Amino acid sequence: MNDCQLYLISPMDVGGDFPQRLDRALAAMGEDNPVAAFQFRVKDMDQHEAARLAAPLQEICAAHDVAFIVNDSVALAKRIGADGVHLGQGDGDPREAREVLGPTAQIGVTCHASRHLAMEAGEAGADYVAFGAFFPSTTKSSEHHPEPELLAWWNGLFEIPCVAIGGITPENCAPLVEAGADFLAVSAAVWSGDEEAAIRAFAKKL
């Protein structure tokens, strides 16, 4: 039994009824909920507005004991006291993020399909590495399409958890779980329909 969990990524629109939807997703299945982390991902928004939108979501995550991770912005993560930050390849160095956010912050790094980038991230102190996109994604386009073997390779050599990302659904996730993904990063598969049903469907596969 692989202890694979879900890493929920927010849709671009986190206003309106989204806080209620997040609460429903995290409450699905009670204590057996497979979601370990939630990534707050908004683009082209000033920090003040981003912080305002993040506040209710952060409270919901805290209530469900789910880590609240900010995408791309170390400054925003610091400002709102997030549990961590996720860095793309152009978003800064994990070492610098660690200096700003402190020793307990969860720092993740996008490594696409690259073993080299993943090893570099690990050496720089990343808490997890993310590989993908494993499948075509409606959320984000990617020219990198690793095979599940990459997860198995990483797991065989390193202690740092790995996250699989990109177009993952309950129907196609089994090979990634079997290859040793510690987390499945999912967005559209949850938010494009009934979030509670999606969480339950993923939980069956995990």
Per-residue pLDDT of 162-197, as tens digits, reads 999 999 999 999 999 999 999 999 999 999 999 999
Residue 206: how many CB atoms within 10 A of its CB? 17
Encode pLDDT of 115-143 as tens digits. Answer: 999 999 999 999 999 999 999 987 777 78
- The pLDDT score that the predictor gives to residue 140 is 76
- The pLDDT score that the predictor gives to residue 137 is 80
Helix (H) or strand (E) holding 203: helix 195-205
- The pLDDT score that the predictor gives to residue 142 is 78
Q: What pTM was computed for the model?
A: 0.96
Encode pLDDT of 40-56 as tens digits. Answer: 999 999 999 999 999 99
- Dist CA 204 CA 206 (whole Å): 6
Average pLDDT of the chain, as a whole number: 96
- The pLDDT score that the predictor gives to residue 2 is 54
- The pLDDT score that the predictor gives to residue 87 is 98
CATH code assigned to 5-205: 3.20.20.70
- The pLDDT score that the predictor gives to residue 54 is 98
> How many C-alpha atoms does 183 have within 13 Å on its Cβ side?
24
What's the chain's Rg over C-alpha atoms?
Answer: 16
Q: Are 180 and 150 in contact (CB under 8 A)?
A: no
